[in-house]
Structure 1
Amino acid sequence: MTQTGKSEHGAASPLRRDRNFNVFWVAQILSVTGDSFAYIAIPLLVLHVTGSVTQMGLLTGVAGAASVFAGIFAGILVDRLDRRTLLICCDLARMVLYGLIPLAWAFGPQIWLLYVVLPISEAVGMVFQVTYVTAVRNLVDDDRITAANGRLYATSAMAGIGGPLLAGVVSGQFGPTAAIAINAVSFALSAACIYFVRFGGQATASASAPPRQKPWQELLAGARFLWRHPVLRTLTILLSFFIFFTLGLTDVLIYYLKHDLGQSDGMVGMVLAVAAVGTIAGSLLVAPIRRKLGFGTAWIGGIAVGGLAITGIGVSGDIPVIAALMAVYLACVSVGGICSMSLRQQVTPDHLLGRVTSAFWTIHFSLGPVGAAVLTWGAGRYGVTVVCLFAGAACLIIAIIALFTPVRQPNPEHLVSAD
């Protein structure tokens, strides 16, 4: 892979001095902020017009299904098309789609349009996300991938906090359609930024890439690579079980605060805001943690400490303690998740990275919805304490199992896939 961001003497320059990465970073902030505006404004628009929670749920379900379906094929597009062009096209497509909503609403509410725009936008957004993950590989050298992912993840979390707050203010003052209009503009600005980014080392339909295969072989190529790499295979399996036991944790926490501890909606928001600081902290600390402790210790330690934090949430009735423990848990999730994503970017051939990313996400999230349903059902049936103890113990078991696998190695990026 051609390395980017090098100084004239061959050493990697700091990220803050890397023009290409910083422009891409700004584009990512704008894109995430736009997504967070839509996250708030679309449900508000539906409520203003219909007053129906069922309509909101149906629209969310349809959009989610479109995203999952797009994820199956996104990897092939990313590996066969120019990534810079694909990112720009995704942003411009979302600009047009979301821009249609305020234009149509100027002539009266058009709920049917949301059932057209949102699923297509979510599908395009999935393609953007897969492309964005693979693009990092073409922006920075291997030694800086973890640090780059950490910064992108941290600012994404910040935008995810600030975006909804701003969207709520704009919606309250000018209506949800105004927030959606700002959303459309944010995608236009993101596309403009990406236009000035120059990617290096991309093997898009190049001579070094293998010949194209049949469609079903293309779809399975990413899964085959995950299976053949000893560390990625183990990580994919362990993380699939991890998300089964943890995806519903936020819902369980909200239930705990409201139902068991009798807290207000404002306090729930405050606890979640404090917890989100953990995501930012973990994202900023992951690079030095991995560099000092090695991959295995960082990943296994994150899962283990996260499990202990979940256990503590279940046995504590003190609000500040619960908020702090949730922040610790989210920090650990950030460390583990960024380590895992960075490793995939480091060891996967560039021409296959899109399909590997799609395959991982599809497998990884397959057990999540079932786990979330089981976790929330268990909280209502047996209580939050039992569920948290169970989920925390499961995370500890996952960490212990990882100790006896290739995941424990400090530098698994040096391993190769099995033939």
Structure 2
Amino acid sequence: MFPRSRAAGTAPQDTRVRSLWRDRDFGVFWAAQTLSVAGDSFAYIAVPLLVLQATGSVAQMGLLTGISGAASVGAGIFAGILVDRFDRRSLLICCDLARLVLYAVIPLAWAMGPQVGVLYVVLPAAEAVGMVFQVTYVAAVRNLVGEEQITEANGRLYATSAAAGILGPVLAGVMAGHFGLTTAIAINAASFAVSAVAVYLIRIDRRQAPAPTGAGTRAAEPDTPMPDVGGTVAREKRAWQELLAGVRFLWANPVLRTLTILLSFFIFLTLGLTDIVIYRLKHDLGQSDSTVGTVLGAAAVGTVAGALLVARLRQRLGFGPCWIGAQSVCGLAIAGIGSVGTSWGVAALMGVYLGCVSVAGICSMSLRQQVTPDHLLGRVTSAFWTIHFSMGPVGAAGLSWVAARFGATTVCVIAGTGCLLIAVAALFTPARRRHPERVVADT
């Protein structure tokens, strides 16, 4: 792996030519996460359908998505501290095991009849644990491959995960039609067990965790006085310093600051999009559960394409053109979903949307990984996602309410127009730079 190669004094050109295909730890991690995503896509389809089946309400779907998103935001406040302080491999394993238990509760509870109330307890808890996993995941990937190949590694992980996501929704739809929705959720629970075992088998190298006193947390501010570690005031101050360390880093970097703000509005408009698409397919177009799964599975091809192309696109066009261009096409695709009259038309436009989300998301995440010091990476990732997702639950609940009152077409037009405005706004910000990572390095 790259960190060990650099420590051994390997020349930079040798590090660059080393292939990820020959990295055993990355390969195991890659395969495990692909299988986990394939299982997770079962819940991605089954949970909204379970709510719609039990309540018949798109507003309930949006409300549950909103509450789950809020739990994820709340967990994100503290996730970065856990990631930067504790062993990252152990955190990944604990998160997988926790989600195994949580998702297993749903089919067990549903065996006694519809238990919608259980979903309002289990899903927010699972989303909170999932946030900790995702923050840990971002930090672990850089520890696995090093920053030189981070965009390529992210692209491969996204591509194969999306490929698994193609088959997953299709199988989920078939499973739901023949064996019931709770069986699909049980398969998702089992996938977390596979992921936990695989992570246990790999090694994730990193520096020593910072001392509990917060040493290294504010490396850019060495003159900050630290109170006596024995006092309550000292403990409270250290806690706030750790919580705010990631926010300060994001705010100090003009490109990351801009992306955090713009993407917060983007998630407001798109967090509940899957619910809207499912509602449109079921309510407006009268499609079956199997067709819903097939459409979303086919649309996932877009994510694969975007993930495979992102490294080349960013290298050729630069960060700004890739990110802004992807956001623009996202807006057009979302608006089109509301007007197209066939399920395959929805699948095609959803595929375009997911492909552009893949390009923009990988560019954004890779940039944060490239410019953030390792000892802050967990807190910066946590701060970004906490701020980023903070508006999502409100948007998911609000847009689903609009869909119930005025139809899915209206929601798609609103969301699509909003995404286009985000892209236009980015043209007047530092996010338009082609190589922001070089500006940071020179500074």
TM-score using structure 1 length: 0.81
**Contact 1:4–1:138 (8 Å) recurs in 2:** no
For 1:96 and 1:314, the matched residues in 2 are separated by: 38
CA distance in 2 between partners of 1:403 and 1:123 (Å): 34
CA pair 250-66 structure 1, distance change in 2 beyond 3 A: closer
Q: 1:384 to 1:29 in 2, by over 3 A?
A: closer
Deviation at 1:175, TM superposition (A): 7.4
2:154 counterpart of 1:131: no
2:136 aligned with 1:143: no
Cα 1:118–1:314, aligned 2, differ >3 Å: closer, same or farther?
A: closer
Out of 195, 209, 212, the position equivalent to 2:216 is 209
CA distance in 2, matches of 1:299, 1:239: 11
Cα RMSD, aligned residues only: 4.0
The alignment of Structure 1 onto Structure 2 pairs a total of residues equal to 414
1:24 equivalent to 2:29? Answer yes
Is residue 2:101 matched to residue 1:77?
no
Partners of 1:300 and 1:167 in 2: CA distance: 34
Match of 2:431 among 398, 407, 410: 407
Name the counterpart of 2:287.
264
CA displacement 1:256-308 (0-9 Å, x = unmatched): 44555x34225444433322211221122111111111111100110112222
Which residue in 1 is equivalent to 2:392? 368
Judge which range, 87-96 or 143-152, deviates more: 87-96
Contact 1:92/1:188 (<8 A) preserved? yes
Residue in structure 2 matched with residue 349 of structure 1 by the alignment? 373
TM-superposed deviation, 1:309: 2.2
Letter of the 2:355 partner, please give it: A
Q: Could you say if the C-alpha distance between residues 168 and 347 of structure 1 is closer, same or farther in structure 2, counting changes exceeding 3 Å?
A: same
Q: Identify which of 225, 250, 258 aligns with 1:226.
A: 250
Equivalent residues of 1:283, 1:334 under 8 A apart: yes
Q: Residues 170 and 76 of structure 1: is their aligned pair in 2 closer, same or farther, counting only changes over 3 Å?
A: same
User: Would the alpha carbon gap of residues 120 and 327 (structure 1) be closer, same or farther in structure 2, given more than 3 Å must change?
Assistant: closer
253 and 98 in structure 1: CA distance in 2 versus 1, 3 angstrom threshold: closer
Cα distance in 1, alignment partners of residues 407 and 67 from structure 2: 31
Is 1:276 matched up with 2:276? no
Partners of 1:326 and 1:396 in 2: CA distance = 16
- The answer to which of 76-85 and 362-371 deviates more is 362-371
Aligned AA (1:329): Y
Alpha-carbon contact 1:62-1:119 (below 8 Å) kept: yes
**What SS does the aligned partner of 1:317 have?**
coil
Q: Which moved more, 1:149-158 or 1:113-122?
A: 113-122
Q: Is the 8 A contact 2:143 2:205 kept in 1?
A: yes
**CA distance 1:4–1:167, shift in 2 (3 Å):** farther
Quickly say closer, same or farther: Cα 1:105–1:279, change in 2 above 3 A: closer
Residues 328/38 of structure 1: CA separation in 2 closer, same or farther (3 Å cut): closer
Letter in 2 for 1:136: V
- With over 3 angstroms needed to count, the CA separation of the structure-2 counterparts of 1:222 and 1:167, relative to structure 1, is same
The residue that corresponds to 2:274 in the other structure is: 250
Give the drift of 1:341.
Answer: 0.9
CA shift at 1:67, angstroms? 3.6
- Mapped partners of 1:151, 1:180: distance in 2: 26
Secondary structure at the aligned position of 2:3 is classed as coil
Give the Cα–Cα distance (whole angstroms) in 1 for the partners of residues 139 and 361 of structure 2: 15
For 1:412, the aligned partner's letter is: P
Equivalent residues in 2 for 1:19-418, closer than 5 Å: 19-37=24-42, 66-95=71-100, 120-166=125-171, 183=188, 185-205=190-210, 209-210=216-217, 214-260=238-284, 262-265=285-288, 266-317=290-341, 319-379=343-403, 384-416=408-440
Judging changes above 3 Å, is the alpha-carbon distance between structure 1 residues 5 and 188 closer, same or farther for their aligned structure 2 residues?
Answer: farther
Change (3 A) 1:168 1:291: same
Residue 156 of structure 1 aligns to a residue whose secondary structure is helix
Deviations 1:322-341 (A, max 9, x none): 43222111111111111111
Query: How far off is 1:412 after superposition?
Result: 0.9
Closer, same or farther: CA 68–169 of 1 in aligned 2, 3 Å: same
Partner of 1:3: 3
Paired AA for residue 19 in structure 2:
P
Deviations 1:104-144 (A, max 9, x none): 999x8997988876655443332222111111111112232
State the AA in 1 paired with 2:31. Answer: V
Identity of matched residues, %: 66
2:287 aligned partner, one-letter code = S
State the shift of 1:3 in Å.
3.2
Tell me whether 108-117 or 239-248 shows the greater mean CA deviation: 108-117
Cα distance change on mapping 1:23 and 1:380 into 2, 3 Å: same
3-state SS of paired residue (1:129):
helix
Instruction: Give unpaired runs (5+ residues) of structure 1.
Output: none
Instruction: Measure, in 2, the Cα distance between the counterparts of 1:379 and 1:177.
Output: 26
How far apart are the structure 2 equivalents of 1:171 and 1:319?
19
Cα distance in 2 for partners of 1:370, 1:42 equals 19
Tell me if structure 1 keeps the 8 A contact 2:70–2:393.
Answer: no
> Closer, same or farther in 2 for the Cα pair 1:52/1:252, shift >3 Å?
closer
- Which is worse superposed, 75-84 or 157-166? 157-166
Secondary structure of the residue aligned to 2:15 is coil
Deviation of residue 240 (structure 1)?
Answer: 1.1
